[in-house]
Amino acid sequence: MKFALVTVVLLSSIGLANAASVDKGQALVEKANCASCHGAGLNAPIMPAYPKLAGQYPDYIYYALKAYKEGNGNAIYGRNNAVMGSQVQAFNDADLQNIAAYVASLPGNFVIKK
């Protein structure tokens, strides 16, 4: 019993206990029509100012979406973008985690230099 409790605490501290759903994330991304700006597969933005998202780390996507949701109301954690701010308002925390999991699962062309 003690081992199970310690395991759950450790896994939740690194994000593995709250596994996000890629399928739910895909449905949310399609519903929000994210590809209209970020392009096919979220990897071909329609304008150079829009980021490629496919293959990005899920933690980065989650915290970026959370910051857009905070908006200007929080000078430390908020991000100011009218389009993204309005896009994420309808999503709860679990939705943002699911979206992040889906985006991370997409094949991207990010390069890690060694």
Identify whether 110 is part of a domain. Answer: no
List the CATH number of the domain containing 81: 1.10.760.10
Identify whether 9 is part of a domain. Answer: no
Identify whether 112 is part of a domain. Answer: no
Name the residue range of residue 25's domain.
Answer: 20-105
| Average pLDDT estimate for 8-35 | 76
Identify whether 56 is part of a domain. Answer: yes
Count of domains forming the chain: 1
Identify whether 12 is part of a domain. Answer: no
Identify whether 8 is part of a domain. Answer: no
Identify whether 1 is part of a domain. Answer: no
pLDDT tens digits, 22-73: 999 999 999 999 999 999 999 999 999 999 999 999 999 999 999 999 887 7
- Least trusted range by pLDDT, from 4-8, 31-35, 67-71, 91-95: 4-8
Identify whether 4 is part of a domain. Answer: no
C-alpha–C-alpha distance, residues 107 and 98, integer Å: 17
Q: Whole-prediction pTM value?
A: 0.77
